[in-house]
Structure 1
Amino acid sequence: MARMESIYSREDNVCLVIVMLEQVPHDKMPLEMLRWIQENSYIEYTPEQDGNIMFWENLKLAMQ
């Protein structure tokens, strides 16, 4: 399942971080979300140890 979790403001910049918890077929995504991931970046979550470390590092960078 994919969820848009957080929208927050940082010095007049709006930041949206999309975390993909699993693969979602494009035809099952809301149009707004599909447009966002095509035009911007998103972070994929994985329970695998190496991927999990990378996920948390990428999330920290995205929120800075």
Structure 2
Amino acid sequence: MTKKQYFFTGVGIVVGLIAGYAYYHFVGCASGTCAITSKPLNSILYGGFMGGLLFNMFVTSPKKKEIL
């Protein structure tokens, strides 16, 4: 992976971490039986994972050189 790919994936993880906490804080789970949103750590980790995957989709791979 290139530095650009690491950068965009890292930015996606950070954005996902923030979004995961925001989802826990504003939406959450009132009953406490939800697997992801019942605890802030679960929501933050899931958001970071999803953010990293989402931002990684938009990074293009460097083209390989043809061997003649």
TM range (shorter): 0.3 to 0.5
Question: What TM-score do you get using the length of structure 1 for normalisation?
Answer: 0.34
Structure with the higher strand share, 1 or 2: 1
Question: What TM-score do you get using the length of structure 2 for normalisation?
Answer: 0.32
Structure with the higher helix share, 1 or 2: 2
Higher relative contact order (CA 8 A, sep 6+): 2
Greater Cα radius of gyration, structure 1 or 2: 2
